[in-house]
Amino acid sequence: MIDDLYSAKLLRLAANLPRVGRLDAPDASVEKVAKLCGSRVLVDVKVEDGAVADFAQEVKACALGQAAASVLGAHVVGATLPELEMARDQFRAMLKDGGSPPVGRFSDLEMLAPVKDYPARHASTLLAFEATCEAVRQATARTSPAGAA
């Protein structure tokens, strides 16, 4: 069962994290920490016309959290807040309730379905999506005409 969890594809993703680092002038930055294990994700976003225009991340997490962040980093540019929130919610439901995996640009998260059997790993696996949704929400509020005061 542990072999299902730590597949070769998952380990490759974890080892090849895209968009690592920080942005020079992000619209928003959010850090999230998993209290149980201490995994940490810091994301920077730039948002233009309601979609992610640029993204960077610093990830200090287990292979599962790194793999999820890798899928996110590979596909986040161009995503809107509703799309990110839907992916996060589908991902969470897949882990916690055995729901269907996310569809669309984040469908590669399906490989993390075996994590559902390890509840202690759920928080660290979801960190990158949690941080990114919050950062895009903040950036959208700051850069929208209604949010700019």
pLDDT digits (tens, 9 = 90+) for 91-106: 999 999 999 999 999 9
Give the chain's mean pLDDT: 92
Alpha-carbon gap, residue 77 to 149, rounded angstroms: 27
- Provide the angle, in degrees to the nearest 10, between the axes of the packed helices 63-75 and 8-15: 70
d(C-alpha 67, C-alpha 10), whole Å: 6
Mean pLDDT of all residues in 13-25: 94
pLDDT value at 147 more than 70: no
70 vs 13: which has the higher pLDDT: 70
